[in-house]
């Protein structure tokens, strides 16, 4: 519906639907509004969760339309971005997110940054551990293992040959914008470094 069509409708007030967030405006003398969904149904609907009370009055021949937005929704959406460098362990992440617990909260967490070799994180396990404390919890792990820091082991050692081979292939994939494949090799590099230095790894 165009503003011109609304203005020519002859209405005092036009109630519109389908749009899930609150929105109002005026076309000519016609007041129009979307009440939005009474509960938010998506993270980007920050103006949902309300109803509209519309009143009509006429005094001395003049019409007046009143519009009042009333909050009724309880569901909240929140996004968090966490640098994995600030997380010492998976239990520490569970504890950090538990402090935000709210049965009306839909929480989306994105993990970013370079993940230390010794940090074992399983987003599904964290989600399961906290599932009953949130309306919904979703964790997306976009962190990546770093390349080898410092002086590389000698090339004639198993560790040295392994690191050089994988880091060379990672560089080629990243140069070709094949980020998903490069991320898989970065994880293989992390696990290989741990295993070849005698560190126990849980797979």
End-to-end CA, the chain:
57
C-alpha 104/C-alpha 94 separation (Å) is 18
Where do the domains of the chain lie, and which CATH numbers do they carry?
Answer: 3-71 (no CATH), 74-143 (3.30.110), 147-203 (no CATH)
Q: pLDDT tens digits for 75-92?
A: 888 899 999 999 999 999
CA distance linking residue 34 with residue 29, whole number of Å: 17
**What's the pLDDT score for residue 44?**
65
Q: Left if phi > 0, otherwise alpha if psi is -120 to 50, otherwise beta: which for 137?
A: beta
What does the pLDDT average to over 162-190?
91
pLDDT of 22 over the 80 cut:
yes
- Cα–Cα–Cα angle for 91, 93, 98, rounded to 5 degrees: 95
Q: Report CA Rg, the chain.
A: 27
Closest Cα partner for 72 from 45, 38, 36, 40? 38
Per-residue pLDDT reduced to its tens digit, 83-130: 999 999 999 999 999 999 999 999 999 999 998 888 888 999 999 999
């Amino acid at each position: 519906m165009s503003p011109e069509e609304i203005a020519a409708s002859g209405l005092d007030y036009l109630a519109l639907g389908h749009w899930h967030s609150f929105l109002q405006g005026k076309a000519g003398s016609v007041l129009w509004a979307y009440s939005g969904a009474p509960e938010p149904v998506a993270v980007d609907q920050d103006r949902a969760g309300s109803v509209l009370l519309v009143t009509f009055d006429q005094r001395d021949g003049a019409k007046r339309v009143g519009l009042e937005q009333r909050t009724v929704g309880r569901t909240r959406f929140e996004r968090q971005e966490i640098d994995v460098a600030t997380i010492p362990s998976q239990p520490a992440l569970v504890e950090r997110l538990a402090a935000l617990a709210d049965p009306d909260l839909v929480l989306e967490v994105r993990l970013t940054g370079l993940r230390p070799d010794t940090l074992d994180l399983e987003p599904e396990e964290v989600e399961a551990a906290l599932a009953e404390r949130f309306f919904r919890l979703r964790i997306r792990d976009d962190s990546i293992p770093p390349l080898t820091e410092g002086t590389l082991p000698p090339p004639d050692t198993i560790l040295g040959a392994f690191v050089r081979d994988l880091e060379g292939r990672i560089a080629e994939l990243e140069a070709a914008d094949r980020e998903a494949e490069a991320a898989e090799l970065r994880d293989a590099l992390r696990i290989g470094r741990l295993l070849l230095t005698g560190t126990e790894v849980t797979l």
